[in-house]
């Protein structure tokens, strides 16, 4: 009896010690641009309010973040369906959002990674122009853009110049197949390569009439730009989605539902507004994320 009582006391002490020991922190990874910093901060602050210990690893290159997730150095990230298919799995990415998510979900399940519910935000590529110029020329789509450009060339007007980041201009699934899809050609002097962030300024300031942008960037609205419809569906879907290691979800039974709650609140308009607050109004990322969470009753 004495030994049994002592054993019970020892077990009770062990349980108390375990209860007093903080759980391992959930490590959230993010890439090196504003939207990813916001998604990481939103997630970290929300989960902390739910009682999870959290840590963040920020400013990671795309492939480095993915490698860290697969190697169990990260527990969860926000990633994009098009990136998963094109960059990680080297397969074609459909423009249909649901089809792209399902394909990424199924392929990553084989690696022990779970794609939760996607947010209603698609940070894909697009072409943009000054709103006033686009409206004056009746340009609403990429096909309209091509017709206007070719009409100017036929009239002997100055050839259009396009602003691209070097990656899109040079990669195999970038500019050249896009030109083939829409049936237009560009001479070398028409392609102005620059840092992706400078493209927005170049369009706004009239340095180039059209340039490559990302559809959730806050500078589209802030600089009064018009995004042209991809009417021939060239650009794949890049739905932002929480991606979590399966074993992390198994160890935290409420985590999937909680992340899906956050995901449901994010849309192109919501994230664009937050991006603009950071990139144009120069507010701190953590402050913008905290205000969004508070407005939706999550903290």
| Tally of helices (H runs) and strands (E runs) in the chain | 15, 10
Mean pLDDT of the chain: 91
Q: Are residues 118 and 254 in the same domain?
A: yes
Question: 20 lies in a domain?
Answer: yes
Tokens 């840590």, located at residue: 55
Contacts of residue 293, defined as CB under 8 A and 6 or more positions apart, other chains included, come to 42, 45, 46, 49, 299
Q: What is the CATH number of the domain that holds 184?
A: 3.40.190.120
Q: Are residues 116 and 9 in the same domain?
A: yes
Collect contacts of 171-176 with beta carbons under 8 A, ≥24 apart. Answer: 173/86
Model confidence at 166, pLDDT cuts 50, 70, 90, reads confident
7 pLDDT higher than 90? no
Last residue of a domain, one of 169, 198, 227: 227
Percent of the chain with pLDDT over 90: 83
Q: Are residues 212 and 103 in the same domain?
A: no
Last residue of a domain, one of 209, 227, 245: 227
The whole model's pTM is what? Answer: 0.82
113 pLDDT higher than 50? yes
Q: What is the CATH number of the domain that holds 267?
A: 3.40.190.10
Model confidence at 94, pLDDT cuts 50, 70, 90, reads confident
* Coil, helix or strand at residue 125: strand
8 pLDDT higher than 60? no
Last residue of a domain, one of 203, 227, 251: 227
Please state, in angstroms and rounded to a whole number, the distance separating the CA atoms of residues 8 and 121. Answer: 54
Question: 232 lies in a domain?
Answer: no
Q: Are residues 32 and 101 in the same domain?
A: yes
Around Cβ 83, how many Cβ atoms within 10 Å? 21
The reported pLDDT for the residue numbered 154 is 94
Q: Are residues 46 and 135 in the same domain?
A: no
pLDDT in tens, 229-287: 999 999 999 999 999 999 999 999 999 999 999 999 999 999 999 999 999 999 999 99
Helix boundaries (H) for 155-232: 166-170, 175-182, 196-204, 219-222
Question: 290 lies in a domain?
Answer: yes
Q: Mean pLDDT throughout 160-181?
A: 87
The reported pLDDT for the residue numbered 9 is 53
Boundaries of domain holding 53: 2-122+237-295
Percent of the chain with pLDDT over 70: 92
Q: Are residues 57 and 109 in the same domain?
A: yes
Closest CA to 249 of 62, 86, 117: 117
Whether the CB-CB separation of 160 and 190 falls below 8 Å is answered with yes
The reported pLDDT for the residue numbered 2 is 38
pLDDT in tens, 184-232: 999 999 999 998 889 999 999 999 999 999 999 999 999 999 999 999 9
Structural domains in the chain (count): 2
Closest CA to 214 of 111, 124, 98, 97: 124
Q: Are residues 108 and 133 in the same domain?
A: no
pLDDT in tens, 9-45: 544 443 343 333 335 789 999 998 899 999 999 999 9
Sheet holding 113-115, edge to edge: 54-60, 26-31, 76-80, 240-245, 113-115
Closest CA to 272 of 213, 232, 231: 213
Q: Are residues 59 and 202 in the same domain?
A: no
The reported pLDDT for the residue numbered 12 is 46
């Amino acid at each position: 009896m004495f030994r049994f009582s002592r054993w019970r006391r020892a077990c009770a002490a062990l349980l108390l010690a375990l209860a007093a020991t903080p759980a391992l922190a959930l490590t959230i990874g993010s890439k090196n641009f504003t939207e990813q910093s916001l998604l990481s901060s939103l997630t970290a602050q929300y989960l902390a309010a739910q009682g999870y210990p959290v840590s963040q690893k920020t400013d990671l290159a795309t492939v480095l973040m993915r490698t860290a997730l697969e190697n169990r150095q990260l527990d969860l990230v926000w990633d994009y369906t098009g990136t998963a298919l094109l960059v990680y799995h080297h397969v074609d990415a459909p423009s249909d959002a649901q089809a792209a998510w399902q394909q990424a979900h199924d392929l990553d399940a084989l690696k022990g990674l779970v794609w939760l519910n996607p947010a209603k935000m698609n940070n894909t590529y697009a072409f943009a122009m000054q709103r006033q110029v686009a409206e004056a020329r009746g340009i609403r789509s990429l096909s309209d853009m091509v017709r206007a450009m070719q009409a100017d060339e036929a009239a002997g007007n100055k050839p259009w110049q396009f602003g691209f980041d070097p990656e899109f201009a040079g990669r195999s699934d970038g500019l050249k197949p896009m030109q083939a899809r829409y049936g237009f050609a560009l001479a070398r002097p028409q392609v102005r390569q620059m840092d992706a962030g400078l493209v927005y300024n170049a369009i706004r300031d009239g340095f180039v009439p059209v340039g490559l942008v990302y559809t959730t960037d806050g500078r589209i609205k802030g600089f009064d730009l018009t995004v042209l419809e991809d009417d021939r569906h060239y650009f794949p879907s890049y739905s932002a989605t929480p991606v979590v290691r399966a074993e992390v979800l198994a160890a935290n039974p409420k985590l999937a539902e909680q992340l899906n709650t956050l995901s449901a609140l994010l849309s192109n308009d919501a994230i664009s507004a937050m991006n603009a607050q950071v990139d144009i109004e120069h507010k701190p990322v953590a402050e913008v994320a905290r205000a969004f969470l508070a407005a939706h009753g999550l903290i």
